[in-house]
Amino acid sequence: MKKYAIIVAGGAGSRMGTPVPKQFLPLNGRPVLWYTLDTFLGVFPDLEIILVVPASHVEVARALASGFAGAGRIRLVSGGNTRFHSVRNGLELAVGESVIFVHDGVRCLVSRELIQRCYEQAVRLGSAIPVTGSGDSVRLVGEEGSSKPIDRDRIKLVQTPQTFRSDILLEAYKTDHQEAFTDDATVVEVAGHAVHLIEGEVNNIKITTPADLVIAGQLLAERMG
């Protein structure tokens, strides 16, 4: 079965407070996005990457991709106005029966083992949505500012790669955009499909702030010995 990874790296990274989008910021000597691409290229020799980047940074991304031995397996697409539209742009290049990963480009610490587990579950069940538990207490805030506690054992924090069989994901993304579409699982659920969770990884963080970049640098240094 074919394998595609839609790597969504279309954000501007405004919360990072730098003119350079966060996916291209240096992390231990390489751009953040380099680690994501390197991990996915190393999991399956037949996996094709569809890299979605801002139109203004296509050439930068092309130069980055060209440095990989598997550069021929990376294709570039310009992002859209929202994450939903960016993913849909990428899906236009996914053809035939396949398993499709959708991954945030700035989750650069994702492991090959998690990617493999997501693939195996998606083949069996149709989807694999990695999640972790909440280590903090959780409260639900009402419209008037009041709040009440929620059992944190019932709360799951959602990660990527969100992984689906192509017949499910491609059909789901034919719908019109809705504000409620915060991730791919939401799109698939609105299309009438159940989604299946899988245990994620605590270190699979999404780099959003300068502090995240520092943490990721330390985790990478520990991983590489």
- Of residues 225 and 152, which shows the higher confidence score? 152
Distance CA 179, CA 214 (A): 32
Q: What is the pLDDT of residue 49?
A: 98
Cα dist from 139 to 20, 131, 157, whole Å: 35, 19, 14
Q: Which fold has domain 2-223?
A: Spore Coat Polysaccharide Biosynthesis Protein SpsA; Chain A (3.90.550)
Q: What is the pLDDT of residue 1?
A: 87
DSSP SS3 for 149: strand
Spatial contact of 77 and 61, defined as CB atoms under 8 Å apart: no
* Amino acid at residue number 49: I
Distance CA 219, CA 109 (A): 8
CA 20 to chain CA mean position, Å: 20
> Per-residue pLDDT tens for 111-127?
999 999 999 999 999 99
Mean pLDDT computed over every residue of the chain? 94
> Per-residue pLDDT tens for 22-45?
999 999 999 999 999 999 999 999
Mean pLDDT computed over 76-95: 96
pLDDT over 60 (residue 13): no
Give 112-132 as a DSSP string: HHHHHHHHHHHHHHSEEEEEE
pTM over 0.75: yes
Tokens 């350079």 correspond to 20
- Which tokens in the block code for residue 193? 């499909």
Spatial contact of 80 and 47, defined as CB atoms under 8 Å apart: no
